[in-house]
Structure 1
Amino acid sequence: MTWTAPVIDRRTEPYVGDERTMLQGWLDFHRDTLLQKCRGLTAEQLKQASVPPSGLTLLGLVRHLALVERSWFRIRFAGEDVKDLYITDDNQDAEFDDVASADAEADFAVYRAELVACDAAVADRDLEETFVDPLGGSTRSLRWVYIHMIEEYARHNGHADLVRERVDGVTGD
């Protein structure tokens, strides 16, 4: 039996609310949008590259965003002692490069679990709270992380639009 990406109910972006509600709401909207771009596709379709020479795939985007969520929310901001996902010393782009042998169902489970863990890591933290980014030494706030993640998803959801259209012709917001 072939695994197929599940259908999700995409949450709508918030129209009113305090700053934290707006940031979390927009992040959730973009998270759901990525999943919506993958819905109904088989594991094989999720691994299909967009257009040569690009190797960009929808599964690669899911893997990448799980990695980025973990990196910014849990490792850098919250200081959790967890390893990066997918990447190795030999391949810093393994989340994109190693898709052919990846298990799509397992990667979607990792992605969903990572979202829960990231939300839990920052649930009671103040947007003004800062940390020093170990990869560059700059001081950043949790607010910055939220804004950066919304930007990261918005950019990659644009990529996902194009990849999905290439895979099976489906378009939409």
Structure 2
Amino acid sequence: MSRTDVPTAPDDRTTALTLLRYVRESALAKAEGLPDALAHATPLATSPLMSVAGVLNHLRWNEHYWVEVVIAGGEDRAPWSEEHPDGEFEIAEQITIDEIITGYRQQIAACDAILADLDLDAPTAKPRRDFHPNVRWVVAHLIEETARHNGHLDILRELADGEVGD
């Protein structure tokens, strides 16, 4: 797939889903081709779990939570818990970067299948604390979350090998 932020139509749905696809593909591009040792490097002494692998795995499980759990009302299978609030970062240490990339791509496909037929104005299956978002808000949040973490991935990739990915 070619990475572009230009929608094929000017409507809100096409624009939002194009931007979501773009930030996802950007995150993947920042990790692809990075050897495992560098993908798992944690160069920030104050953030011992912050690695390219960890951030990408976080994005994968973030999509699971917001789309499969909040939008669709499915079971939360994410690796975090009260005892391990950063579980997605912790398990990333034991998974190859290729496995993380594959898992994220599979998660994207699962989320896209759920989003395919949903109206952006439809309410989600589950409220979030005192707020009951609609699908549009969740898609916008995923764009914001992924774009923010792309900045982290830029820095981590540059610290790892001097590149920022594509």
Structure 1 length-normalised TM:
0.86
CA RMSD in angstroms, aligned pairs only: 1.8
Return the letter of the residue paired with 1:127.
Answer: L
Does 2:3 correspond to 1:11? Answer: yes
Q: Distance in 2 between matches of 1:140 and 1:88?
A: 23
**Helix, strand or coil at the partner of 2:124:** strand
Match of 1:158 in 2: 151
Which residue, 28, 39, 57 being the options, matches 1:63? Answer: 57
Cross-structure match for 1:96: 89
CA–CA distance in structure 1, aligned partners of residues 28 and 64 of structure 2:
17
Residue matched to 2:73:
79
Q: Shift in Å at residue 92 of structure 1?
A: 1.5
Query: In the TM superposition, what is the alpha-carbon distance from 1:89 to its structure 2 partner?
Result: 4.3
Distance 1:29 1:72 in 2: 18
* C-alpha contact 1:64 1:95 (8 A) present in aligned 2: yes
Quote the offset at 1:91 in angstroms: 0.4
Q: 2-side partners of 1:172 and 1:120: how far apart?
A: 28
* 1:25 counterpart residue number: 18
Q: How many residues align?
A: 164
Identity %: 32
Task: Flag structure 1 segments of 5+ consecutive residues without an equivalent.
Answer: 1-8
Instruction: Give CA-to-partner distance per residue, 1:100-140, whole Å, 9 cap, x none.
Output: 32233322221111100001112101011013644404111
Report the Cα offset of residue 77 of structure 1.
0.7
- Which of 34, 44, 49 is residue 37 of structure 2 equivalent to? 44
Distance in 2 (CA, whole Å) between partners of 1:39 and 1:57 is: 14
Instruction: State the distance in 2 between where 1:141 and 1:59 align.
Output: 30
Aligned positions of 1:66-145 closer than 5 A? 66-81=60-75, 83-131=76-124, 133-145=126-138
Which deviates more from structure 2 when the two are superposed, residues 129-138 or residues 159-168? Answer: 129-138
> Higher mean Cα deviation, 130-139 or 42-51?
130-139
Higher relative contact order (CA 8 A, sep 6+): 2
The two structures have a TM-score, normalised by structure 2, of: 0.90
How far is 1:97 from its partner? 2.8
SS of corresponding position for 2:77:
coil
